[in-house]
Amino acid sequence: MTALLEVTGLSKRYPSRHGEVTACEDISFQVRRGETLALVGESGAGKSTVVRLVAGLEQPTAGHILLHGKPVHERPRGRTARLARAATVQIVHQDPYSCLDPRQTIGAGLAELLRLHGRRLGHGSATADRVAELLDTVGLPDQAGARPAHLSGGQRQRAAIARALAVEPDILLLDEAVAALDVSVQAQILNLLTDLRERCGTTLVFVTHDLAVVRQLCQAAVVMRTGRVVEEGPVTRVLTTPQHPYTQALLEAVPRPGWHPRRIRHMA
């Protein structure tokens, strides 16, 4: 199957007072349509930088990003091109407040987004019907009139996912989207994402450090350490027979029955 997203030799370096700081270096992976790929690693591994580059929020220092075989990292020019980019790739951040206007109700924000992207499906009630459909999809059927401050953390994250889905993107990027949620709410969001992939064929790139989440949600995994890929492959292989010492150390650090913490040896 042809890859929907292809990332090849992706690097990002930032200027600093003492030269350059490398956030990620020579990152390559592919994502097939309808697949969920995990970017795994500890904080500072460069996962979020890769996601921001794929989303077009930053420009790479080197490398290529192809979606449907076409480059997406070139900065779009003009309103139409920017809207087209937004409809191609959407991102859901760890903090849903980054995309929710506290002055608007959830329904009003979705309706404004639909009008901006020209997806009214008619006028008046048709927009309201689409808003209701989106909220029902993410499990918020009665919250169109609520403002973000009146919702729980899990509900706000569902609203953020509804906003991302409103423009019908080709690929949905989730940057630690469940990391700040308690376990029960996290499970609900993961079940929602699984349902979206199975029912709607949504393609996902999921940034996380939680290997239990990777096992539940993802089909493929890319393990990153200090800005580089150290291991990649199907989740069943990466989590069952890891080849790199860093991946092995991540798995050893997962609590399990009878588990006791022990010092992990230093890896060069």
State the SS3 of the chain.
CCEEEEEEEEEEEEEECCEEEEEEEEEEEEEECCCEEEEECCCCCCHHHHHHHHHCCCCCCEEEEEECCEECCCCCCCHHHHHHHHHHEEEECCCHHHCCCCCCCHHHHHHHHHHHCCCCCCCCHHHHHHHHHHHHHCCCCCCCCCCHHHCCHHHHHHHHHHHHHHCCCCEEEEECCCCCCCHHHHHHHHHHHHHHHHHHCCEEEEEECCHHHHHHHCCEEEEEECCEEEEEEEHHHHHHCCCCHHHHHHHHCCCCCCCCCCCCCCCC
- Assess if residue 261 is contained within a domain: no
Strand partners, 65: 7
Give the length of the chain. Answer: 268
What is the percent of the chain where pLDDT is above 70? 87
- The pLDDT of residue 236 is 92
The answer to whether residues 208 and 40 touch, using CB atoms and an 8 Å cutoff, is yes
Query: What CATH code is carried by the domain that includes residue 19?
Result: 3.40.50.300
Q: How confident is the model at residue 122 (pLDDT cuts 50, 70, 90)?
A: very low
pLDDT of residue 183 exceeding 70: yes
- The pLDDT of residue 65 is 92
pLDDT tens digits, one per residue of 7-17: 999 999 999 88
Calculate mean pLDDT across residues 118-130: 64
- Assess if residue 58 is contained within a domain: yes
- Assess if residue 268 is contained within a domain: no
- Assess if residue 257 is contained within a domain: no
Instruction: Please state the domain count of the chain.
Output: 1
- Assess if residue 266 is contained within a domain: no
- The pLDDT of residue 202 is 82
pLDDT of residue 19 exceeding 70: yes
Instruction: Give 73 or 246, the one with higher predicted confidence.
Output: 246
Q: How confident is the model at residue 258 (pLDDT cuts 50, 70, 90)?
A: low
- Assess if residue 120 is contained within a domain: yes
Instruction: Give 260 or 40, the one with higher predicted confidence.
Output: 40
CA–CA distance, 212 with 123 (Å, rounded to integer): 44
pTM: 0.84
pLDDT tens digits, one per residue of 54-104: 988 889 999 999 988 888 766 666 666 666 776 778 898 888 877 888 899
Give residue 1's identity as a one-letter amino acid code.
M
- Assess if residue 101 is contained within a domain: yes
pLDDT tens digits, one per residue of 195-220: 878 877 889 999 988 888 888 889 99
First to last CA, the chain: 37
pLDDT of residue 226 exceeding 90: yes
Structural domain that includes position 201: 3-252
- Assess if residue 227 is contained within a domain: yes
Task: Label the pairing between strands 3-16 and 228-234.
Answer: unpaired
